Structure 1
Amino acid sequence: MSPNDPTQLRLLPDSELTDCGHPDVIATDLGDGAFDAARLTQARRLAGLTKKSVAQQIGVSSVSVGQWEARTAKPRPDNLEALAAVLDVPVAFLAAGRPYARLDAAGAHFRSLRRTPVSQRDKATAFAEQIWELTYALEKRVRFPVIDLPGFSAGEVDRTGMTADPIAAAQELRRHWGLGTTRIPRMVRTLEQHGIVVTLVHFAGDDTKNIDAFSTSRLPRPIVVLTPDRADDVYRHRFSAAHELGHLVMHEDCVPGDAQQEKEADIFAAEFLTPQAQITPLLPPRLDFKKLGELGMQWGVSVDSLLRRCKEVGAISEPTYRRAYQRLNALRHNGLFRNESIHGYPGEIPVLLRSAFEMAESDGLTLKDLAAELRITLPRLRLLLGDGDTRPQLKLV
């Protein structure tokens, strides 16, 4: 890659490469101690299935599946084959012997917790676990950008001596990252350049519309998961990324769905994208949607965000803000202030994982080899690498 590679990836020299050897084939009978109960739980959650539904599909009792996951019993070889078929994983996926970082739903910040059922949160966190596993496999071959997140170390955040004020936290991070006080042209790329893994795929099918976005600092690398359902609005997409960054910076103790933490993350995002000291003099003295639209394009934020800014700085009253917001929705309904897709903004589409694979591929790694190492299917690997189509789907009725 060129010296100006925005992902800052580098191939590791041979002397630093980690042994990546792995069996090409694992027998159906995994043998004593080879079956990994945690992998069964992960695969079930990725499939969005309950223990009862898995049991019904393979012809055993739900108690049996519960015992397998609780490590009090082991499935027979024919059960393993049935499980793999139902869960759409190779039998080898259920074997022990490879790195696994467990993430509980309580360890992730879910922006829309009330609309996200437990099964979908479990699916989302299991997806984040797989993203980390892919990252780990690639980091054995490619040097990723250094994690540059204040207080973060090896899956923990220590905020000792750091400010709890979201505005001050946003200002401090801008200074720390050398971003100045002007527009951030590429929000997602900025996160990736500082060692944060960002992904944007349909990892849960139509269910992603309920998940919106989430993040975690409980894994060895911080991860931000954005969903394509919001990608048809680049400004909302950028704000979601900044919102999740706020969680990573400020909230070492996750309280999923907590109103106060969500409010603080919103305040952080607004200040990070549009510093108050710089944006306030540019706001129109009287409500003017045209000028707000032009200002939003300049700073890469939505008119909604700038309306809130107008209210925060006292340019408009609370009643005026509410009426303006209703008027804005009406204008959108009539075809004005249309959303802009992220596909016109390359810096807002994650590339870190895909670029890392391409660099490793140039050194001999193949998709088939990597899928075998991770013990997943090729379609699953392509999804994790972000090869899925993130464009909104046209539905004819």
Structure 2
Amino acid sequence: MRDDPRQLLLPGAEPDPEADAVKRLFAPARLTQARLVSGLTKAALAERVGVSAAAVGQFEAGVTRPRAEQLQRLSEELGFPVTFFTAGRPHEHMDASMAHFKSLRSTRVGERARAVAYVEQVWELTHALQKHVDLPEVDLPPTQTEPISAARALRGHWEIPPGPFAHLVRTMEVHGVVAMWLPVSKEESARIEAFSTSKLSRPLVVLTPDRADDVYRHRFAAAHELGHLLLHQDVAPGDMQQEKEADAFAAELLTPRDEIRADIGNRVRLGDLADIGRRWGVAMKSLIKRTQELGLVSEATARRHYQRHAQLVSAGLLQPEPVSGYPGELPSLLTQALSLAEQHDFSMRQLADELKWPLPHLRKLLGEQGSRPRLRLV
């Protein structure tokens, strides 16, 4: 590895005076965050920059500070301006132990760390927007320990009428929960799955692209994470029992047992479940499980229904519906907040400059735009 600063610049280039100033105010946590968001290990970044992996580790630990020339190369390789690495801006540290990851065993450590780094940045984005727009207050009922009671309490607290729970994600945002798309590949997000955290100043639910082609799976994932926010605020994440409780919460929230039992009736026909599932906004496979939970069918009958369901899917007779066709299920709180700010002379470019992010990165974190909660200027 090369540590000679003269080898860190293009021929004829001179150190940037701005980088020389930034090195005195260098924030180690910013380097870690930018590296994780970029999906790079310390060794990979070191190779690109021309220093040792130990040197990158020392930069991130605050043992040493990068020289101006090294800051320029870090900026170029990580895609953030040099000023991004300056201390003094609001920052909320988070690690994987602060989030409810469903697939801890199948998720790579680096992928979890990258996802958490994105969450840190969404917190910063939310904090920045709150200076200009009054976001909805967080409005969740008190924490409960029993999933069924918690789901019923939430429906009552939010005054959800009997019947299907329409516009789940939009309703979450209206009540102050930030929802976001995780801006990673579909393959990577399939290993991570949706996750959530209540350890920041505002609860946050992360939804993943692997569910975007099936609105029913997407809705159940959102309801599952909402369950974690209500049931497991003060519990260390990672317990499989917590995942079962969050599933039970989601099932009751989306298909309250007394109402869905009455809708299905005593004679459970597979064809009827498809229509009922569309009406309630849940997957047919979820309804098969629900009929067994409610004692409407035997284990053997449920197994036959699962087999028939798999045959219908394999034959292409059951096609998933993408979430893009359901605006009420698309995260939109932050894009709505920015849109309102833009109406009052605060542009996306100004927001990017305030965050010290490149504009394309801000656009990526804002994600898709859908129906929006009502907001007002501060």
Q: Return the TM-score normalized by structure 2.
A: 0.90
Query: In the alignment, residue 325 of structure 1 is paired with which amino acid?
Result: Y
| CA deviation after TM superposition for structure 1 residue 208, in Å | 1.7
Q: Which among 100, 105, 129 is matched to residue 96 of structure 2? A: 105
Separation in 1 of the partners of 2:236 and 2:70?
38
Which ranges of structure 2 fall in alignment gaps of 5 or more residues? 1-15, 371-378
Determine the structure 1 residue equivalent to 2:328. 347
Determine the structure 2 residue equivalent to 1:76. 67
Query: In the alignment, residue 27 of structure 2 is paired with which amino acid?
Result: D
Q: How many residues align?
A: 355
Determine the structure 2 residue equivalent to 1:87. 78
Determine the structure 2 residue equivalent to 1:283. 264
Judge conservation of contact 2:118–2:182 (CA < 8 Å) in 1.
Answer: no
Judge conservation of contact 1:40–1:94 (CA < 8 Å) in 2.
Answer: yes
Change (3 A) 1:302 1:205: closer
Determine the structure 1 residue equivalent to 2:159. 178
- Name the structure with the higher helix share: 2
Judge conservation of contact 1:113–1:256 (CA < 8 Å) in 2.
Answer: no
Q: Which among 19, 22, 41 is matched to residue 32 of structure 2? A: 41
Change (3 A) 1:92 1:317: same
Separation in 2 of the partners of 1:356 and 1:222?
17
Q: Which among 188, 213, 217 is matched to residue 169 of structure 2? A: 188
Judge conservation of contact 2:28–2:59 (CA < 8 Å) in 1.
Answer: yes
Query: In the alignment, residue 343 of structure 2 is paired with which amino acid?
Result: S
Query: In the alignment, residue 238 of structure 1 is paired with which amino acid?
Result: R
Q: 1:96 and 2:77 equivalent?
A: no
Judge conservation of contact 1:284–1:291 (CA < 8 Å) in 2.
Answer: no
Determine the structure 1 residue equivalent to 2:353. 372
CA RMSD of superposed structures (Å): 1.8
Change (3 A) 1:66 1:204: farther
Query: In the alignment, residue 269 of structure 2 is paired with which amino acid?
Result: D
Secondary structure at the aligned position of 1:380 is classed as helix
Determine the structure 2 residue equivalent to 1:29. 20
Determine the structure 1 residue equivalent to 2:306. 325
| CA deviation after TM superposition for structure 1 residue 30, in Å | 3.3
Q: Which is worse superposed, 109-118 or 301-310? A: 109-118
Q: 1:215 and 2:196 equivalent?
A: yes
Determine the structure 2 residue equivalent to 1:154. none
Q: Which among 222, 236, 246 is matched to residue 217 of structure 2? A: 236
| CA deviation after TM superposition for structure 1 residue 264, in Å | 0.4
| CA deviation after TM superposition for structure 1 residue 286, in Å | 3.4
1:264-297: CA deviation from partner (whole Å, max 9, x where unpaired): 0000000001110111122243341110011111
Change (3 A) 1:333 1:254: farther
Separation in 2 of the partners of 1:371 and 1:255?
34
Query: In the alignment, residue 353 of structure 2 is paired with which amino acid?
Result: A
Q: Which is worse superposed, 301-310 or 107-116? A: 107-116
Determine the structure 1 residue equivalent to 2:282. 301
Query: In the alignment, residue 64 of structure 1 is paired with which amino acid?
Result: A
Change (3 A) 1:31 1:92: closer
Q: 1:224 and 2:205 equivalent?
A: yes
Q: 1:142 and 2:123 equivalent?
A: no
Q: Which is worse superposed, 310-319 or 165-174? A: 310-319
Q: Which is worse superposed, 340-349 or 252-261? A: 252-261
Judge conservation of contact 2:23–2:68 (CA < 8 Å) in 1.
Answer: no
Secondary structure at the aligned position of 1:224 is classed as strand
Separation in 2 of the partners of 1:26 and 1:341?
49
Q: 1:66 and 2:57 equivalent?
A: yes
Separation in 2 of the partners of 1:32 and 1:80?
7
Judge conservation of contact 1:371–1:381 (CA < 8 Å) in 2.
Answer: yes
Query: In the alignment, residue 93 of structure 2 is paired with which amino acid?
Result: R
Query: In the alignment, residue 125 of structure 1 is paired with which amino acid?
Result: V
In the TM superposition, 1:352-367 aligns within 5 A as: 352-367=333-348
Secondary structure at the aligned position of 1:245 is classed as helix
Separation in 2 of the partners of 1:115 and 1:273?
27
Query: In the alignment, residue 180 of structure 2 is paired with which amino acid?
Result: T
Secondary structure at the aligned position of 2:21 is classed as coil
Separation in 2 of the partners of 1:388 and 1:281?
36
| CA deviation after TM superposition for structure 1 residue 135, in Å | 0.7
Determine the structure 2 residue equivalent to 1:395. none
